[in-house]
Amino acid sequence: MATQYRDWEIGLSVRKFRRAVWLVMAAMTMFFLALTLAYIKRHGLTIYWLSPELTTILTANTCLLLASSVALWRSRRFLQVRLMRATLRWAGVALGLGLLFLLGQALAWRYLLVSGVYISTHPNSGFFYIVTAAHAAHILVALGLLAWVFSRAWRGRLQSDRPLLMDLTSIIWHCLDIIWVYLFLVLLLYR
């Protein structure tokens, strides 16, 4: 039987937590896959719409999100070797980069709005707004978890011998990064 993790004062095993997170990640991946497949199927009926300026913003956002994944990976590694100040610092970097990613997404939406491209302007623009808003909502939840990790590290309550919160947050964050890279590539290839 798996060891019990009582940080949240419930009796579920670590294995059950991980299994639940992976199931949620699989469902989330299928959701975004279904959206993009519908977009690709409909793409043949539409025209080019993604401007070079918007592509630049999205590329920068992608770099921010990937850098945040590296920062979270480093934070997790430092937690494993019990370097708590480094854990805190890199968790803070990951959190800050995640917030910058969301700010960059808002900048992309603002760019479209100022350019007169609304959700109902074109099927492609509608897809862009829907998929990026859905991804941003998932990122917000993950940022909440990341803020929780940061808060626990700040208060000295993140423990290297019980890293479940850090592990689950990392799984979610890295999955969202992979999903974003996939969405970004779909947007670039089918613009």
pLDDT of residue 1: 40
Does any domain span residue 29? yes
Does any domain span residue 114? yes
Tell me the one-letter amino acid at 182. Answer: Y
In tens, the pLDDT along 74-130 reads 999 999 888 989 999 999 999 999 999 999 999 999 999 998 888 888 777 888 899
Does any domain span residue 26? yes
pLDDT band of 145, cuts 50, 70, 90: very high
Does any domain span residue 1? no
Q: How many domains does the chain have?
A: 1
Higher pLDDT, 49 or 53: 53
pLDDT of residue 46: 58
The span from the CA of 3 to the CA of 15, in Å, is: 9
Does any domain span residue 133? yes
Contacts (Cβ under 8 Å, ≥6 apart) of 174: 69, 72, 73
Does any domain span residue 45? no
In tens, the pLDDT along 159-171 reads 765 778 898 999 9
pTM of the model: 0.85
User: Is the CA virtual torsion 128, 132, 135, 137 positive or negative?
Assistant: negative
What CATH number is associated with residue 146? 1.20.120.80
The span from the CA of 129 to the CA of 119, in Å, is: 6
Which segment of 35-44, 61-70, 96-105, 171-180 scores lowest on mean pLDDT?
Answer: 35-44
**CB distance 26 to 70 below 8 Å:** no
Does any domain span residue 143? yes
Question: Residue 46: phi, psi to the nearest 5?
Answer: -120, 175
Residue 185, domain extent: 17-40+50-189
Does any domain span residue 7? no
Higher pLDDT, 122 or 148: 148
